[in-house]
Amino acid sequence: MNQTTEGRRQKRRRPDLNTVYSINADGSRNFIQPADVIGKWQVIRNSINFLLMLVYVGLPWLQIADKPAVLINLPSRQAWIFGFSYTNQDFYLVSVLLTAAGFLLFVLTALLGRIWCGYACPQTVFMEGVFRKFERLLEGGRVARIRRNQGPLNFDKFWRKTVKHILFIFLSALIAHIFLSYFFPAKEVLKLVATGFSGHSNALFWTLFWTGILYFNFSWFREQTCLIICPYGRLQSSLIDADTIVIGYDEARGEPRTKGAEGGDCVDCYRCVEVCPTGIDIRNGLQMECIGCANCIDACNEIMKKIDKPEGLVRYDSQTGFETGKRKSFIRPRLYVYLLMALVGLTVATFAVNSRTSFHANVLRARGMPYAIEGERIRNLVNLHIQNKNSEQSLFTIEVAEELRESFEIIVPLKQLRLKSMEDGETPIIVYCTFDDYKEPFPIFITVSDSLTGNSKQLEVMFKGP
Ligand code: SF4
Ligand code: SF4
């Protein structure tokens, strides 16, 4: 390293533990331009990113039992998820499933640190897997980007920036439209686009809204989402312990960081910092800003190969592993507590999903007086409402308890209701009782049976009189 380069490095601000590197002392933004890196972890991450994007794009097009694999119809408060249909009455399942998923994430974090952030979070998947790649394609590598950004606005800078931002708007709109296809059938979304969302101002508004948010996020806000908005990064410090596998720097092996025989393995080349998308120096220890992308591992391994030293100066290991060289321990109370909580959540979720009925039925008294007098008789009118929650059409049979029929007159105009998936149906039920037979309010039992699943449900409503 010549003296001029070294001088520039001295002047350049270096990441530290007291400041956020992406924000300057005056509060302005210090835009991070991570360098390109290739290596084993990049191949793994790119493959996972590709698969996840495939799932994201493909799910609304995948058909299960003639319905999209995932479709949430907000206006009708219905959802089809992997062949099962749900209504707003099943909404409690969302909280149960989210709780179970949350505890599973706790287990994952206690075991493997921020593996979710680095490999599966949509922010990282789209930022590193899509937007950053196009940016590199149009604006070149780190040095070219920094020079161009600092240079005057000439034609070269103008066209590259213009094309990049047009592309970013297009990509944001594409992601927003795919997101929309989780709420509208994908083919309908194509029709909406073809007709310019005519008559669907709500869908247009939300699509434009999300396009704007995504464009802002991926073109400007970037790593600030992980640093400022996402609560998970802050939570991780309370979830991990000394045996959690994290990305770290082997200080014992690397220090003193310098070139030459007297130094450790770290040659202070700064490469691990240059590739970091959040601009931190992993050699300062585990930091909240680290999103676990493994760029620094691949970058340092490249250097180690060049200087003929073993790989793994920056690697996945536990704090205990870095400090003592001992193997990782999986016997940790916190891990089992999280696992237990996740299993409880999953058991409750499985039980809740399995115990949900294939239809919803309720009975409501007709509006107005609870009864009517017709000559010598008292009349009660109730409405039976059924909703078919099966993913197919089904026939619902309505029966009233036999012993009631002998003593009282019961009229059920529709004894069977054929309902399509998620369709609602209603029938009135009229019950007559003579004044002589009526002593006090008594229950009427109505049984509804689903021919498709064999499920049945008994409902109770009180017969009332004067
Ligand atoms: S420190 Fe390493 S793993 Fe963490 S965000 Fe930076 S490059 Fe990625
Ligand atoms: S890439 Fe490796 S050798 Fe270079 S500064 Fe980082 S830890 Fe040191």
DSSP character string of 82-99: TTEEEEGGGTHHHHHHHH
Closest CA to 421 of 60, 75, 84: 84
- Tens-digit pLDDT profile for residues 262-285: 889 999 999 999 999 999 999 999
- Tens-digit pLDDT profile for residues 301-333: 999 999 999 999 999 999 999 998 876 667 788
User: Residue-wise over 265-293: b if at least 16 C-beta within 10 A, else e?
Assistant: bbbbbbbbbbbbbbbbbbbeebebbbbbb
Q: Which residue among 117, 124, 284, 295 has the greatest number of ligand 1 atoms within 8 angstroms of its CB, and so is best to mutate?
A: 295
Q: Which residue among 283, 298, 315 has the greatest number of ligand 2 atoms within 8 angstroms of its CB, and so is best to mutate?
A: 283
What's the CATH number for 359-463? 2.60.40.10
Q: Residues 418-434: what's their mean pLDDT?
A: 90
The token pair at 407 is 């003593």
271 lines ligand 2 (CB under 6 A): yes
Among 147-156, 168-177, 301-310, 419-428, the minimum mean pLDDT is found in: 419-428
Say what the pLDDT of residue 67 is: 83
CA of 286 to the centre of ligand 1 (A): 9
Q: Who wins on pLDDT, 186 or 90?
A: 186
pLDDT at 16 over 90: no
Q: Measured from the CA of 271, which atom of ligand 2 is nearest?
A: 1
CA of 125 to the centre of ligand 2 (A): 25
Domain with CATH 2.60.40.10 in the chain: 359-463
Total Cβ atoms within 10 A of residue 74: 11
What's the pTM?
0.82
Name which residue sits closest to atom 6 of ligand 2, judged by CA.
272
The token pair at 394 is 């089904």
Q: Residues 172-176: what's their mean pLDDT?
A: 97
Beta-ladder partners of 378: 373, 433
CA of 86 to the centre of ligand 1 (A): 41
Name which residue sits closest to atom 3 of ligand 2, judged by CA.
266
Name which residue sits closest to atom 5 of ligand 1, judged by CA.
290
Residue 273 phi, psi (nearest 5): -80, -40
Q: Residues 47-52: what's their mean pLDDT?
A: 97
Task: State the ligand closest to the CA atom of 247.
Answer: 1
